Structure 1
Amino acid sequence: MEALRLQWAGGAPKLWTAGAMARRGLVTTVSSRAGTAAVAGWVGSVRDRAAGARSLLEDFGRPGAAPRLPTGDYAAVLVYRDRILLVRDEQARIPLFFSESAGRVSAVSTSARRLGGAADLERRYFCRYLTGNAAQPHSELTPFAGVHRVLAGEVVELSLTGRIRGRVRRRVRRAQDPPVPAPDGPRIGEAAKDLRLALENAVGRRMGGTTACHVSGGIDSTSVALLAARLLAAEQGHYGDLVLLTGRFGGGELAGEQPYLDEAMEEIRRHAPAARPVIVDVDDVADFDDFQHHAGDPDEPHAHAFRAPFWGRLHAAAAELGCDTLMTGCGADPVADANPLHLHRLARTGQLRQMAKQARAWAAGSERGLRDIVLDYVVRPALPLTAERITALVRRPGTVLGGLGDFTRPRWLRSGFARAHGYREASIAESRFVFGRRPEQSLYDAANYIAAPDPLSWIRAQQDGFFLSHPFLDPEVVATMRGLPAEASFHPGRPKAVLREAMADLLPSRIRGRVVKVPFNQLYTRGLRKHGDELIDFCRSARHPLTAEMFDVGMLCRAVREAQLGIGDSYSWDRLNGSLALVVWLEQLGRYSPAPGATVPVSAGS
């Protein structure tokens, strides 16, 4: 989807924005004597997008300025009298691409497909995509040769003629610096106060005129909705309306979530009686419903397109009520919970006795074996590719999905294609991103991409009028949790201990005390039962030449059949889902020609 576009005509930069998105507030344009800014998304606060865009324009327009990036979910093009800046926020929610040849940019857009051609695909990208879920947003490569991604937190400077002058990654400017831990480490109560303040600020920044909160009955989404309700009650009229959005399952294992959901709704409405509950019946929804549409329409292959039917049903309900933002509890699992990769730090710094003691506590608290804990959080981060290779050899006998982890080559990806286009190099790069030199810190960087893949929000934004937003992935919240020592956040048998303490005065006792939530496996198994044969037939009939060049289609179909039978695990199913989405995306690529829609020219000349 193209929200904004920059290109050159007669040697001068010309800027356009999508008229429909501008009218709905999804694109904001401001001008001053210094220049013009077109911003997709929001800067600083959803409620005052114009002020945020103007601040961004002024901060980067000062001579010699090198400001930190402001908080927000945005991609921006800033056109000054002497230069052009392409800016993208640190969370990478809103895409931004540019086409380049010989160091000169010919066009900039939020749509890679608008800039690239279906006949000239970048095969290295597909190797990177197939290494795991975190690959897409932090790799400069795109599916189209000559089209590059502005990376998360990056500022790309161009001359007025489009010549690239520099690319710099910047940190986010935070409302306040994260607390400095005391020498002996903060107690859980002190850590909880810091997290509560950071989360309140994150929710406040995302409140719009009509705000929807996804409520699932878990501690994460309920915490976000409760804080939104408190803000609404404290400043009536300033924060607008609140919609409580949830999906209801009448049968199956997910129906067991209903008592928690009812209690969450009751407590939220106690704080904000005017909040409107919107309960959407989703009993008939299954993963992979209308998979060709959800996987084929995005600019890039979308590994989580299989789950789009559920989210799409909720999005449609929020859109009907005119919501301008939708908040979720996504990201809390890796960000707000204790960091198990702390064990790796203890091991590499020689504190083996302490590591063994804490590993035993982790094993007891999570009801897992000590060997599995050490393997997952000490050995695997140190030697990720080797550990996966050994696991695959041990667990794979007779199956395609057995032992398949995040980085190892799936058996349906042809070895010749993998060798020719850098699959091993992509796996190494991906493993370094996920674990890095200090895995306990890299967890937070990778969590941003693993926990909240939401291309669905982007491609639906024009019709829905809002973007998904995730307070737990706010830079201030991440910085707060990143700064805590393990002792403050790890309490065996009590996951997310700091969050529970932070929300102790608001969470209902039933939700505050729960430690297990019903997963969405039901939607996945139902979807494979319903659509498995259809997916196999689609793969066998695929005609795009890259599909046969890349995949052993018979092996891929066998993997689908194994997943139908329940063989494999979440890692292997994720790899399968991503490959199926890629097959559909390639097949639709030559057939899909999106209508450009009405655009609005913006004065951006010098």
Structure 2
Amino acid sequence: MDALRLEWAGGAPRLRTTDALARRGLVTTVSSPAGTAAVVGWAGSARDRVTGARGLLDACGRQGEAPTMPAGDYAAVAVCRDRILLTRDEQARIPLFFRESAGRVDAVSTSARTLGRATELEPRYFCRYLIGNLAQPHTDLTPFTGVHRVLGGEVVELSLAGRLRVRTPRRARATADAPASLVGGPGLDEAARELRLALENAVGRRMGTTTACHVSGGTDSTGVALLAARLLAAGHAGTGELVLLAGRFHHGELAGEQPYLDLALEGIRRHAPTGRPVVVDADDVADFDDFPHHAGDADEPHAHAFRAPFWSRLHDAAAELGCDTLLTGCGADPVVDANPFHLHRLARTGRLRQLTRQARAWAEGSERGLRDVVHAYVVRPTAPLTAERITALARGGTMLGGLGTFDRPRWLRPGFARAHGFREARIAESRFVFGRRPEQSLYDAANYLAAPDPLSWHRAERDGFFLSHPFLDPEVVATMSRLSAAAVFRPGRPKAVLREALADLLPAPISGRAVKIPFDDLYARGLRRHGDELVALCRSARHPLIAEMFDVDTLCGAVREARLGLGDAYSWDRMNSSLALVAWLEGLSAGS
């Protein structure tokens, strides 16, 4: 979607925005003596987008070092008196790209597809993409040759003539290196108060005139909706409407969520009686419904396109009510739970007795074996590629057996992988996911796991809103990253600090839940319903890159195995990404 575009006419920059998005408040343009800025999304506060855009323009107009950018969900272009700045917020929810040749930028847009040429594709990008779900958002590469991505939190400076001057990466968060101990340190009450304040601020920043909250009956989404309801009732978020958006299943495993959903809606409406529950019947929805459309029309390959039918059903309901923002509970699992990679910190600093004691406590609390805990949080982060290779050898024999996050899928041709840097992509991705300090890298990786943002972006002009994730707010992440393990870890009680932080709001049955029913039933139903169509999609694909990249017979074999229930979440993710790429390339061919 081309929400804004910067081009040069007669040597002068020309910035324009899409009128339809501007009318819906999704693009804000402001001017001052410092220059002109166009902000897609919101900076500072979703309710006061003009003020946030002016603050961002003022920051860009200051001379000297790279400006400090506000929190928010935005991509922005600022044309100042002596320079042009391109930037995105740290969460990187809104895309931004530029086309560059020989050090000069000739176009900027929120759409890589409108900047690129379908006949000039970048094979290295596809190797990065096929590594896993995290590969796209944090790499400069795009599917198109010469088109680059502005990274999350990055500031790209251009001259007024379009000459690329400097790319300044985001500044590292200032966080204390809290001691990794299960004794001492701040108590759960103090940690819960800190998290509650940070989360309230994150929710308050994201509330609009008509705010929708996705409610599933779990701790995370219910907590966000409760905070939104409380802020509205107290007047802290001004006046506005609250829509409680939920999908209802009467059959299958997910029907077991219905009692919790009813409790959640009842609890939220106690705080905001005017909150409007909108419960969408989703019994007829399955993953992979209309897959060629959802995967093929995206700006880039969309690894989570298989889940788009469910979210599209909810988005339609929110759009009909005129919502201008939709809050989710995405990101809570990795961010507000105890950070298991503190075990890795104990290992690399030589505190082996503490490591043994805490690994045992972690194993007992999570009902896992001690060996599994040490392998997952100490061994694998130390040598991720070696650990996956050993697992693949031990569990080989099928297309999906032993396929982890970084292994080459058997359907990716070895010659293509060697020629276009798959090995280098594996190494780069493993360093991003784990880094030298996995306990900090966890939060960066979690930010890019939240889905389905590409669907929200693709539909924004029609729906009038973007998804937003309070649990991934920089303030929330910084709060959690500076807390010690002692403050947040309670054996057998996942996300203990969050439950304590919301103890006065959450209904007791929801607060006491340890496990939520996953969407596996929706996925299995989709494969049963559309497995033959997915195989046919692969076999009928005509884009030349598909045959060059994939052994189609092997990919079809993987689809059949997944349909029978073989594999696991890692291997299914790799297969889903590959199927989305096939559909995307076919859509690219049709569009060109």
Q: Does the TM-score normalized on the shorter chain lie above 0.5?
A: yes
Give me the whole-angstrom Cα distance separating, in 2, the residues matched to 1:588 and 1:54. Answer: 39
Q: Which amino acid aligns with 1:331?
A: G
Q: Which whole-Å CA distance do the structure 2 matches of 1:88 and 1:366 have between them?
A: 37
The aligned residue for residue 402 of structure 2 is: 403
Contact kept? 1:248, 1:279, Cα under 8 Å: yes
Percent identity at matched positions?
76
**Deviation digits for residues 508-529 of structure 1, max 9, x if unmatched?**
0000001010000011000000
Name 2:103's counterpart in structure 1.
103
Q: Distance in 2 between matches of 1:424 and 1:524?
A: 30
SS at match of 2:47: helix
Could you tell me how far 1:211 is from its partner in structure 2?
0.1
Match of 1:506 in 2: 505
CA contact (8 A) 1:434 1:442 kept: yes
Q: What are the residue-to-residue correspondences of 1:543-558 with 2, within 5 Å?
A: 543-558=542-557
Contact 1:324 1:465 survives alignment (8 Å) = yes
1:344 partner SS: helix
Q: How many Å separate the matches in 2 of 1:179 and 1:543?
A: 53
**Matching residue of 2:294:** 294
One-letter code aligned to 1:339: N
Partner amino acid for 2:573? Answer: D
Q: Give the aligned residue type for 1:513.
A: G
The corresponding residue for 1:306 is 306
Once the two structures are superposed, the pairs formed by residues 153-164 of structure 1 within 5 Å of their partners are 153-164=153-164
Listed one character per residue, the Cα deviations across residues 324-364 of structure 1 (whole Å, up to 9, x for unaligned) are 00000000000010111111111111111211111111111
The amino acid that maps onto 1:419 is: R
Q: CA deviation at 1:239?
A: 3.5
Alignment-mate amino acid for residue 423 of structure 1: F
* 1:241 maps to 2:241: yes
After alignment, is 162-171 or 466-475 more displaced?
162-171
* Conservation of the 8 A alpha-carbon contact between 2:28 and 2:38: yes
- Match for residue 443 of structure 1? 442
User: Are positions 1:584 and 2:590 aligned together?
Assistant: no
Question: The residue matched to 2:388 in structure 1 has which SS?
Answer: helix
- In the superposition, the TM-score normalised over structure 2's length comes to 0.98
Deviation at 1:170, TM superposition (A): 2.9
SS at match of 1:79: strand
Contact 1:331 1:470 in 2 (8 A): yes
Aligned to 1:597: none
- SS in structure 2 at match of 1:246: strand
| Deviation of the 1:453 alpha carbon | 4.4
1:282 alignment partner AA: A
Say which SS state the counterpart of residue 191 (structure 2) adopts: helix
8 Å contact from structure 1 (residues 68, 172) kept in 2: no
CA apart distance, 1:60: 1.7
Q: Distance in 2 between matches of 1:254 and 1:115?
A: 42
* Counterpart position of 1:261: 261
Residue 47 of structure 1 aligns to a residue in which SS? coil
Structure 1 residue 527 corresponds to structure 2 residue 502: no
For residue 171 of structure 1, report the CA deviation from its aligned partner: 3.3
Q: Which residue of 1 aligns with 2:426?
A: 427
Q: 1:185 to 1:293 in 2, by over 3 A?
A: same
- Does the 8 Å CA contact 1:179/1:480 hold for their aligned counterparts? no
Whole-angstrom distance in 2 between the partners of 1:560 and 1:590: 23
| Separation in 1, partners of 2:293, 2:431 | 33
Compare 446-455 and 346-355 and name the one that shifted more: 446-455
* Unaligned runs of at least 5 residues, structure 2: none
Contact 1:116-1:144 at 8 Å conserved across structures: yes
Aligned counterparts of 1:266 and 1:236: Cα–Cα separation in 2:
22
Tell me how far 1:172 sits from its aligned partner. 8.4
CA distance in 2, matches of 1:352, 1:360: 12
Tell me, yes or no, if the aligned pair for 2:66 and 2:168 is still in contact at 8 Å: no
CA shift for structure 1 position 69: 1.6
CA distance in 2, matches of 1:515, 1:200: 23
Does the CA-based 8 Å contact 1:172-1:475 persist in structure 2?
Answer: no
- Preserved contact between residue 291 and residue 306 of structure 2 (Cα < 8 Å): yes
Deviations 1:485-524 (A, max 9, x none): 1111111100001001000011000000010100000110
Asked if the contact 2:66–2:155 (Cα under 8 Å) also holds between the matched residues in 1, the reply is no
Contact 1:140 1:151 (8 Å CA) reproduced: yes
Amino acid at match of 1:480: T
Distance 2:279 2:176 in 1: 39
Q: Which residue of 2 aligns with 1:48?
A: 48
Contact 1:213 1:326 in 2 (8 A): yes
**Cα distance, 1:163 vs. partner?**
0.2
Instruction: Name the structure 2 match of 1:603.
Output: none
The one-letter code sitting in structure 1 at the alignment partner of 2:529 is K
> How much does 1:179 deviate?
8.4
In the TM superposition, 1:123-138 aligns within 5 A as: 123-138=123-138
The answer as to whether partners of 2:204 and 2:237 remain within 8 angstroms in 1 is no
Whole-Å separation in 1 of the counterparts to 2:105 and 2:319: 36
- Are 2:33 and 1:33 equivalent residues in the alignment? yes
CA distance in 1, matches of 2:58, 2:68: 13
Residue 416 of structure 1: aligned partner = 415
Alignment of 1:275-354 (within 5 A): 275-354=275-354
Given residue 91 of structure 2, which amino acid in structure 1 is its aligned partner? Q
Q: Is the 8 A contact 1:69 1:172 kept in 2?
A: no
Amino acid at match of 1:523: L
Query: Could you tell me whether the CA contact under 8 Å between 1:297 and 1:585 is conserved in 2?
Result: yes
- Where does residue 468 of structure 2 map in the other structure? 469
Please show how residues 16-31 of structure 1 align to structure 2 within 5 Å. Answer: 16-31=16-31
**Structure 1: 5+ residue runs without aligned partners?**
594-606
Secondary structure of 2:136 counterpart: helix
Residues in 1 aligned to 2:136 and 2:222: alpha-carbon distance in whole angstroms: 29
Give runs of aligned pairs for residues 125-274 of structure 1, distance below 5 A.
125-171=125-171, 184-235=184-235, 238-274=238-274
Instruction: Show the 5 A alignment for 1:380-391.
Output: 380-391=380-391
Distance 2:577 2:263 in 1: 36
Mapped partners of 2:379, 2:244: distance in 1: 43
**1:119 partner SS:** coil
How far did 1:451 drift? Answer: 2.9
Aligned to 1:90: 90
Q: CA offsets, 1:289-332, max 9 Å, x none?
A: 00000000111000000000000000000000000000000000
Is the contact between residue 344 and residue 378 of structure 2 (CA under 8 Å) also seen in structure 1?
Answer: yes
Q: Distance in 2 between matches of 1:103 and 1:553?
A: 39
1:369 aligns with 2:369: yes
What amino acid is aligned across from residue 108 of structure 2 in structure 1? V
Deviation at 1:180, TM superposition (A): 9.2
SS of the counterpart of 2:108? strand
Alpha-carbon distance between aligned partners in 2 of 1:336 and 1:84, rounded to the nearest angstrom: 37
Deviations, residues 4-37 of structure 1 (Å, cap 9, x unaligned): 0000011110111000000000000000011000
Q: Which amino acid aligns with 1:124?
A: R
Determine if contact 2:153/2:170 at 8 Å carries over to the other structure: yes
Q: Which residue of 2 aligns with 1:393?
A: 393
Letter in 2 for 1:197: L
Q: CA deviation at 1:236?
A: 8.1
Out of 496-505 and 366-375, give the one that drifted further: 366-375
Deviation at residue 468 of structure 1 after TM alignment: 0.1
Q: Does 1:575 align with 2:578?
A: no
C-alpha root-mean-square deviation of aligned residues, in Å?
Answer: 1.4
Greater Cα shift, 74-83 or 60-69: 60-69
Shift of residue 452, structure 1, vs aligned partner:
3.4
Against the structure 1 CA distance between its residues 172 and 418, is the aligned structure 2 distance closer, same or farther, given a 3 Å change threshold? closer
State the distance in 1 between where 2:506 and 2:341 align.
28
* Equivalent-residue separation in structure 2 for 1:104 and 1:510 (angstroms): 59
For residue 178 of structure 1, report the CA deviation from its aligned partner: 6.8
- Alignment partner of 1:559: what SS? helix
Which stretch shows the higher mean deviation, 61-70 or 121-130? Answer: 61-70
Q: Which amino acid in structure 2 is aligned with residue 135 of structure 1?
A: A
Contact 1:45 1:206 in 2 (8 A): yes
Q: Give distance in 1, aligned partners of 2:305 and 2:138.
A: 19
> Given that residues 288 and 528 in structure 1 are in contact (C-alpha distance below 8 angstroms), is that contact kept between their aligned partners in structure 2?
yes
Residue in structure 2 matched with residue 73 of structure 1 by the alignment: 73
Contact 1:287-1:528 within 8 A present in 2 as well: yes
Contact 1:115 1:147 in 2 (8 A): yes
Aligned counterparts of 2:74 and 2:392: Cα–Cα separation in 1: 40
Is 233-242 or 69-78 further displaced after alignment? 233-242
